[in-house]
């Protein structure tokens, strides 16, 4: 049985203007990602992994090449269409959590559902379930400032998965966490990947989380150096 691709990238080039010249962040990147994959874009700082993640997420645009995400050609969509794709089909996890500081855990997790006009009764059910997945039932009414980094990142995960997106993009999700919290976060994400059909793409240079990945794509100087599938991840 063939699996559907959620990402199809061909000959992607991304350049940033610097002064009168430009800096090439990604060059000739070809990448396909099937449904349900658990992939890591790894490489040193400046290798282009965050740029690639942003382009996949429609937060940034390519200079050249074609980027198809969830059967939509990202380079041919308007800002509003990209926003709609993100709202309905994507979840984001950021290195610095990006939780709304004045919202409680519950309210932060509820936000994507509100943006998707989900009915109140459904929202309550889904938010409660997402918070249970990440084990923050006792922190539902806490605000980000009252929680540890690990708890904040678990909240961000709950927010990213609450609307059951087809694609979850995580930019250095463990960079601000200690080893124990990093492992906890990856266990949660790994479990969600197994239980849901969601595809996961991580941008990371954190060695600790490599053992969870089922496919590792090495980037350096904006190029894919190698693309390796792991049949049995170390922490599976």
Partner 1 sequence: MMLFNIAIKNLFGAKLRTSLNVFVTSVSFFLVIFVSGMYDGMREHAKNITIETEIAGGTYWHPKYDPMDPRTFEYSHSVMPPKIKRLIDQKYAFGVLVSQASIYPNGRIMPAIMKGITPGQTIVNIPTDVLEQDDDITIPVLIGSEMAKNSNLKIGDSFTIRWLDADRTYDADEGTIVHIMETENFKLDQGHIWIPLSKAQSMLAMENQATYVTYAKGLDVIQDTGDWIHHDVDYMIRDMEALIKADEPGAQVMYSILLALAAMGIFNAQILSIFRRGKEIGTLMALGMTRSRVVALFTLEGALNALLASAMALILFGPILFYFGENGIPLPIDYAEMGILVAKKLVPVYSLSLVISTMVLISIIVLIVSYIPSRKISRMKPTDALRGKAAV
Interface ranges with partner 1 (CB under 8 A): 54, 57, 59-60, 79-80, 83-88, 90, 92, 94, 98, 100-103, 107, 111-112, 114-117, 159
Interatomic CA distance for residues 152 and 61, integer angstroms: 29
Task: Quote the tokens at residue 60.
Answer: 């940034």
In this complex, which beta carbon is closest to partner 1, that of residue 94 or of residue 183?
A: 94
In this complex, which beta carbon is closest to partner 1, that of residue 166 or of residue 210?
A: 166
Name the nearest CA neighbour of 190 among 226, 219, 161.
Answer: 161
Task: Quote the tokens at residue 139.
Answer: 């922190």
In this complex, which beta carbon is closest to partner 1, that of residue 163 or of residue 214?
A: 163
Least distance CB 230 / partner 1 (angstroms): 29
Interatomic CA distance for residues 146 and 142, integer angstroms: 6
Which backbone phi and psi does 62 adopt, to 5 degrees?
A: -80, 155
Q: Which residues contact 132 (CB under 8 A, 6 or more apart)?
A: none
In this complex, which beta carbon is closest to partner 1, that of residue 8 or of residue 84?
A: 84
Interatomic CA distance for residues 78 and 85, integer angstroms: 11
In this complex, which beta carbon is closest to partner 1, that of residue 59 or of residue 124?
A: 59
Interatomic CA distance for residues 51 and 36, integer angstroms: 22
SS3 (DSSP) at 61: coil
Contact 173, 50 (CB under 8 A): no
């Amino acid at each position: 049985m063939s699996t559907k691709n959620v990402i199809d990238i061909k000959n992607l080039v991304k350049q940033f203007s610097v002064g009168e010249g430009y800096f090439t962040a990604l060059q000739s990147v070809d990448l396909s990602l099937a449904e349900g994959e658990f992939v890591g874009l790894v490489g040193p700082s400046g290798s282009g992994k965050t740029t690639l993640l942003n382009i996949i997420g429609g937060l940034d645009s390519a200079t050249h090449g074609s980027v198809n995400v969830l059967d939509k050609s990202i380079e041919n969509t308007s800002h509003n269409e990209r926003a709609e794709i993100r709202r309905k089909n994507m979840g984001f996890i950021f290195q610095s959590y990006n939780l709304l500081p004045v919202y409680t855990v519950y309210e932060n997790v509820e936000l994507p559902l509100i943006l998707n006009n989900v009915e109140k009764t459904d929202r309550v059910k889904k938010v409660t379930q997402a918070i249970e997945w990440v084990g923050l039932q006792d922190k539902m009414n806490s605000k980000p400032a009252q929680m540890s980094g690990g708890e904040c990142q678990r909240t961000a995960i709950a927010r990213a998965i609450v609307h059951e997106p087809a694609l979850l993009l995580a930019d250095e999700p463990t960079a601000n966490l200690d080893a124990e919290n990093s492992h906890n976060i990856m266990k949660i994400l790994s479990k969600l990947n197994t239980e849901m059909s969601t595809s996961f793409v991580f941008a990371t240079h954190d060695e600790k989380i490599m053992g969870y990945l089922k496919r590792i794509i090495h980037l350096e100087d904006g190029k894919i150096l190698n693309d390796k599938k792991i049949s049995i991840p170390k922490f599976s």
